[in-house]
Chain A
C-alpha cells in the first residue's frame, strides 16, 4: 500500500491550514467543521441551530477546484461535514465576506432590506445567498427560494430575506474573492499536488480518505468493518445527534471515478457520488420523475453533499429516491477488489435499512435504463412541508399501456412499510385491465388495504393509507393528461 499522509489541508482565511489530528488535543477525524470553526476565535459567526442539517444556521461555502480549472462555490451545512471531507477545499465563512472593513454587497443588502431580526440565522442565509452570487448565473425567483429553503428563520417571515437576496443577486459584481481567484487556485493546486491518500489514526478511531477507487476497494477488502461515507448527511447524525463513536471510516467523497456520468445508447450510468444538485440538472429532461423528486429532496446544502449511492445504501423505509429509481427500473453497479456485479435496485434493498451490499463492496454507480416512449413514469412525495422534509408517503410508478390496456405496471411506495415496497396486489388487479377511472377507483380500494403502515411523528397509519391510495389516482390523472 502507498504511503499515507496523516494530515489534512485546506484553505481558510486565504491561507493553507494543515491539521495533524494527533497533535491537536481538541480534534478528532469525526469532529465536524462547525465544531472546529467555533473553536477558532474569529469564526463564531457560524451558528449551531440543530446539528442535523435541518436549519442552515451553520451554512458555510466550500470552494472546489474543478478539473476545468474553475472554482465552484457550494453551500453546505458545516454541522454535517467531518473535517477530512474539506481536504483540498477552501472554506469560506461569514467573517470572510467583509474585506478590510467593507461589507460585501450581500451583507449590505441584508441590512438595507431589514432581513435580520434576532440575527442568529442571518450568517447562514448570507452564506447561502453568497453561493448563488458566486455561481455568477442569472437566476429566477424560484432558484433563489430553492437556494434558501434549507435555511430556517423564525423571526422575519422570510419576505425581507428573499428581497435582500434577490437585490444582491440581481447585481453581481466581481468581489474580493474574484480578485483572489488565482491565489486560491494555486493554493488548492498545491494541496492537490501532494500525493498519497490520507489515513488518520487517533486513539481507537481510524479514518481513511482515499483518492483512487482501487485504494478504496483494496482497503475495504482488508477492513470489512469500516463504514463507508460520502456526503455523510445521514451518517454524521450518528455522531452529532446520538454521540455514537464511529471506530472505522472510509470516506470515498474524494474519488473522482465515483462522480462520473456515462451516457450509453440504452442507459445512463450515474456515479454513486455525483452530487444530487448536479444530478438534478442532468436528468431534468430525460428523467422528469427523478427530477421532480430531486427538486424536493433535502435542501440545496444537503444535495451539495449527498449522492445516490448513500441514499440507496441507507435503505431508509422512505428513502426519497428509492421508489422513483425503482420505477425507472434502475440497477446498482457494485464493485469490490474481486469483481463487479449489477443488481436491480428492487432486489438490492432487502429490509429495513438493509441491502445486499457485501462487506467488501462499494456502490460504484446506478444505471437508469432510458425509457421507451410508451413507458409512463411519475413520482410523488407527500410531506408536511414542501421543502426539506421527509415524506409521509413517497411513490414511484410506471405503466405501459397498449390500446389503453395495462401491459405492465409497477407501483413503488416509501413510508408504507419497513422498506420501499411494491404494491403487488394492486398491480395484479390492474394488470391487463382497462386504464379507466372505474378500475383505478377499484384498485384504490385494494391499495388502501394492501399495506399496514406505522403511525409515527410524520403521519398516522390512516393518513398514510389515504395518501397512498390518492397517489394512484394522481398517477392516472397525470397519465391521461399526457
Chain B
C-alpha cells in the first residue's frame, strides 16, 4: 500500500472520460424534465390549469400532486415534505408541477404556459422574526451538566452576547441530477447523484407506490456533494421517476445552477445567544448557550444537525457547568440541510467567540484562554453529554503547532506591525477542533459489502458508500488490496448500487471509510477463510505439506504456505483451484460500530466512537479602507490516526479548510422580504478562488498516533478540517480589535465579508470616540 496512491478516477478526471450522470449516453427516447416552482414564500394555490402546457408540441407529461401514484411525501426523517405542493405553498422554489418534454427548451416553454392562481399570505423570512413568531418545528433539545445557576452566582466575571452565523450554499460543481429509466412492469432504475442511494430508493418506491425491490438506484460518482446530496438529491430522483413512470420513457432532470441554488437548502444559519462565567485567570466556570437554527420550512435533517451543534458547543474545552439549548425555528425558506460539519461549525463558532471575548476582557492573548480550558487527560475530561474524551490529542497537537508555527514570535511581529501601520492591520489566531465521529443516531452506524472474486483473480468490491470526490473508493481499494495481499490494480470498486448492497446509511458524518472499510474487511476475511481451507488442503495433498488453513498467508499476489514458504500459488491460480473445488468466491460483509448510544430526553450518552482532533494557526492582514483581507499564512496539524492514504487525507484537510474559510469570509446568502434568494448564482455568491487561499499554506498530519479499533487504525477526516477555518475568522477579529488596541471586542458575524469588516471597524472607532 502506498500512502500516496492517486485517486482511482484521476486518469478519467483529467482526460474528461469520467462519466457523471449527465454524460451517460442518451437514449433517443430520452425526455427532459423541468420543475414549476412557487414564486411566493407563503400562501395557497387557488386554482391551476395545465392544458396549455400539455398541448404544446413535444410535451409528454405535465404532473401535479394529483398524479402521484404513491405517497406525496419525501421527508427523510419526519414526514413533513410534500413532493409537489398539494395546495399549501411554503417557500419560493417549492415544486408544484413537473414537465417532461422532448427537449429542455420545450420543457422550459411548457413551464411558462402553466396557469396558476395563488393567494399570498404572510411569510417569515428572517430567523429573528421566526423566533419572535415562535413556531418551533420540534420540541427544544437540552444538554446540561453541573449547576449553571450556582456557577453564575459565584462568578468573578460574566459576559453575554449573541451572534449570527450565515447560510452556506454547497456549490457542488455538479448540480442536482437524476436519470430515471423505467423497466418492465413496475421496475424503475434511477441514476442519481446521491450520497444516500438507499433512501433515494425508498422514497422513489413510496412515491410510485411500489415495493422497494422494484427500484434500483445507482451512482458511480458525484461531482461534489458536501452534504447537499444527502437528502436533497432525493427530490430530483423522485421527480424524474414520477415523470418516467407516467411517460414510460427515460427522463433526465438536471437543475440549472440558479434553480439549484434557489430550490435546495443550505447550511443552517444560527443565531447564538450566550452567557459565560469565568475567573480572573480566564478559566471558564459556566456557559449557557442557546443555539437557534433556521430550519427552513420543514424538518429535513435539522434535528440531528442541531444535536451535533449541541455536541460541539463546548468544542475542545472542559466546561464544568453548561446548559445547551437547541431550537429548530420554522421559516419560509427551502429546508436547510446537511453540510460538511453538520452543525458542528456553528456550535464551535459560538464557543470560540466566547473565548475571544473573555481574552479581550482580561487583556490576554486568546491562545492562553484556549489552552487553560482544554479538556485534560485524566480529569476535566467529561463532556456535557457525559462522554469521556478519550485519546485526547489536544496537548500533543498544541505543543507541536505552537512550535512549528512559531506562534509567540509571530504574535510579537503582529503587534509590531500593527503599531507601525495605520491602514493595514494584522491578526493572528489559533483554533482547535475536537470533532465526534459517528452518526449520532446509533442505528445508522452500520454498513454492508459484497466482494466477488472472479476466475482470473480479479476482485470486484461493492459497498454501500458513495464516491463524491473524497477518495472513498480509492481507500476501499487500498484496504481490500492490503487485506487480500494483492495489487490494488487487481481490485475494482463498483458503482454504488442498491441492488448490490441493501439498506445502507448515507455516506455522511465522515464515516465512509470507517464503516464501509470494516464491512469490506469482514467480507474479505470470510473469503480468505474459504480460500485458505481449499489451498491448505491443496498444499497438503500436492506439496506434501502439513499446513492448516491458519498457516495460509496472502502476500504480494501470492497465496503462501507459511510452514513451507516455497509452496506458493499466484493468487489467480489459487482462485481457479477454489472455483474448481466448488467453493463460493462471493461474500457479503457487515459492520456495526460498537458501544454507541444517546438518550435524547436525558441529554446523556456515548454518541461518538472516537474524536478527531486538529488545530490551525492563521495570520491575516486586513485593509481598513477596503475591508479586504489576505491570509498571509495558515499552519494546520491534523489528526487522521494512522492515515490510509496521506495524499487523500491532506486533500480533505486542505479542501475542508478552504470551504470553511469561504463560510467565514466571502460566502453570503441574502433573501429579500419576499423570500427570494438574492445570491442565486456564482455571479453574486462567492466561494473562494485560487487567490483566496493562504499565501503560505502548511498542512501536516499528526503522525505516530494510530487510532485504536478502526479500519487500519485510521481516523475519519471528511468534516473535521472544515472547522479549522475558524482560525481565519478569529484572526480577522484579532486584526479588527487591534484598531482599538484590543480593548474592545469586535462584534462581527459569520461571514466576515469585506463589508462587515468595514462596518465593524466603524463601530469600534465610534465606541473609541465615545
- Residues of chain A touching chain B, judged by Cβ–Cβ distance below 8 Å, are 38, 41, 43-52, 54-55, 57, 93-95, 97-98, 103, 106-107, 110-112, 114-123, 126, 145, 148-149, 151-162, 241, 243, 380, 382-390, 392, 456-460, 462-463, 466-467, 470-471, 473-474, 477
Contact = CB atoms under 8 A, between A and B. Distances in A.
B683 interface: yes
Nearest to B172: A154
A464 B648 CA distance: 42
A444 B9 CA distance: 56
Given A392-B755, A466-B758, 4 more contacts: A114-B650, A116-B9, A119-B10, A460-B755
A39 B258 CA distance: 22
Given A45-B16, A156-B654, A382-B626, A52 B226 contact: no
Given A117-B470, A117-B471, A149-B690, A122 B13 contact: yes
B158 to A, nearest CB: 32
Nearest to A477: B423
Nearest to B226: A154
Contact of B659 (A45, A154, A386, A477): A154
Interface in B1-23: 4, 6-7, 9-20, 22-23
B594 to A, nearest CB: 31
A333 B659 CA distance: 46
B651 A117 contact: yes
B693 interface: yes
Interface stretch (B127-135, B217-225, B441-449): B217-225
A161 B697 CA distance: 14
Contact of B221 (A119, A158, A477): A119
B683 A390 contact: yes
Contacts, number: 233
Interface in B676-702: 678-679, 681-684, 686-693, 697, 699
Nearest to A118: B469
Nearest to A57: B173
B173 A55 contact: yes
B690 A158 contact: yes
A392 to B, nearest CB: 7
A55 B678 CA distance: 18
Contact of B654 (A157, A386, A473, A477): A157
Interface of B: 4, 6-7, 9-20, 22-23, 25, 105, 108, 170-174, 221-226, 256-258, 423, 468-471, 624-628, 647-648, 650-651, 654-659, 666, 668, 670, 678-679, 681-684, 686-693, 697, 699, 753-756, 758-759, 762
A113 B470 CA distance: 15
Contacts of A43: 16
A159 B682 contact: no
Contacts of B258: 241
A162 B699 CA distance: 15
B754 A121 contact: no
Nearest to B693: A158
A387 to B, nearest CB: 5
B367 to A, nearest CB: 24
Given A50-B257, A382-B628, A466-B759, A148 B690 contact: yes
Contacts of A112: 6
Contacts of B683: 52, 54, 390
24 contacts: A38-B22, A44-B23, A45-B17, A47-B174, A50-B682, A52-B682, A55-B173, A116-B9, A116-B469, A119-B9, A119-B221, A149-B691, A151-B689, A155-B655, A157-B659, A161-B690, A243-B108, A387-B690, A388-B689, A392-B754, A467-B755, A470-B624, A470-B625, A474-B626
Prevailing SS type, chain A contact patch: loop
A383 B688 CA distance: 13
Contacts of A114: 4, 6-7, 10, 647-648, 650-651
A98 B11 CA distance: 11
Contact of B658 (A93, A157, A462): A157
Instruction: Report the 3 A-B pairs with minimum CB-CB distance, sorted nearest first.
Output: A45-B16, A118-B469, A120-B223
A111 B10 contact: yes
B678 to A, nearest CB: 4
Contacts of B690: 145, 148-149, 151, 158, 161-162, 387
A157 B655 contact: yes
A294 B702 CA distance: 43
Residue from A95, A97, A145, A155 with most neighbouring chain B CB atoms (10 Å)? A155
A395 to B, nearest CB: 11
B682 A55 contact: yes
Contacts of A116: 7, 9-10, 13-14, 469
Given A44-B23, A392-B754, A473 B625 contact: yes
Which of B20, B257, B470, B624 has the most chain A CB atoms closer than 10 A to its own CB?
A: B257
Contact of A49 (B173, B471, B684): B173
Nearest to A144: B690
Contacts of B687: 152, 154
A476 to B, nearest CB: 11
Contact of A462 (B423, B678, B759): B759
A404 to B, nearest CB: 21
B758 A463 contact: yes
A93 B651 CA distance: 26
A386 to B, nearest CB: 5
A416 B668 CA distance: 20
A120 B174 CA distance: 7
Interface centre among B14, B471, B686 (most CB of A within 10 A): B14
B417 to A, nearest CB: 17
A118 B693 contact: no
Contacts of A120: 20, 172-174, 223-224, 469
Given A52-B682, A152-B687, A111 B173 contact: no
Nearest to A380: B626
A380 B256 CA distance: 34
Contacts of B468: 118
Contacts of A380: 626
B173 A384 contact: no
Contacts of B10: 110-111, 114, 116, 119
B689 A154 contact: no
A50, A157, A471, most chain B CB atoms within 10 A = A157
Nearest to B670: A457
Contacts of A110: 10, 13-14
B23 A154 contact: no
Nearest to B12: A119
B573 to A, nearest CB: 30
